[in-house]
Amino acid sequence: GTCDIDTVTITASSSAYTDCQNATNVAAGDKVFVTATSSLPDYFVVQAASSTAAGKINIKIYNLGWNSSQATGGRTFYWQAIR
């Protein structure tokens, strides 16, 4: 399926967590695999993901940049889950 994040600003060489909403049929405790679409800027990397509530996936994103904070912009991610 797909899910969506709002814009998150992440300091250079740091990580931030954000909720990916509208993950239809995801349940708390599912094991999830998340993949960014090609629209995610190159300096961001998905580090981790977990299903924290029904319909929601918490994603940890890392900013590879070395000199400034960057904003992700609103983005869509692909996901698969194992129950």
Please count the other Cβ atoms lying within 10 Å of the Cβ belonging to residue 12.
13
pLDDT of residue 35: 96
Asked if the model's pLDDT at residue 66 lies above 90, the reply is no
Instruction: Report pLDDT digits (tens) over 10-60.
Output: 999 999 999 999 999 999 999 999 999 999 999 999 999 999 899 999 999
What does the alpha-carbon distance between residue 41 and residue 69 come to, in Å, rounded to a whole number? 13
Burial of 70: CB neighbours in 10 Å, binned 0-12, 13-18, 19+? middle
